[in-house]
Amino acid sequence: MSTDWKKDWKKIARANGLAIPDAALERIAQSLDALEADFRPLVRTLPPETEPAVAFHAAIELSHDRKGVEDSE
């Protein structure tokens, strides 16, 4: 499945202030276009309630902080 539009990687690089030479961008454009074509249709299947696989665990953060405090004491 392919997208009906293509991203302009050179413009994206410039807009993000990335110092990637044009020649390098031309070499990777095909890989990025192929990845876009595979990835974009998958994103459209996502129901809004699906949460990301990475999560913030406040309790673990606190236990680390406490250990740091104990060590310094």
Interacting residues toward other proteins by CB under 8 A: 9, 12-13, 16, 18-20, 24-25, 27-28, 31-32, 35, 38-39, 42-43, 45-47, 50-54, 57, 60, 63-64, 67
The token duo for 60 is 């673990």
The angle formed by the CA atoms of residues 40, 43 and 39, to the nearest 5 degrees, is 35
Q: Would you say 21 or 73 has its CB closer to other proteins?
A: 21
**Least Å distance between CB 7 and other proteins?**
8
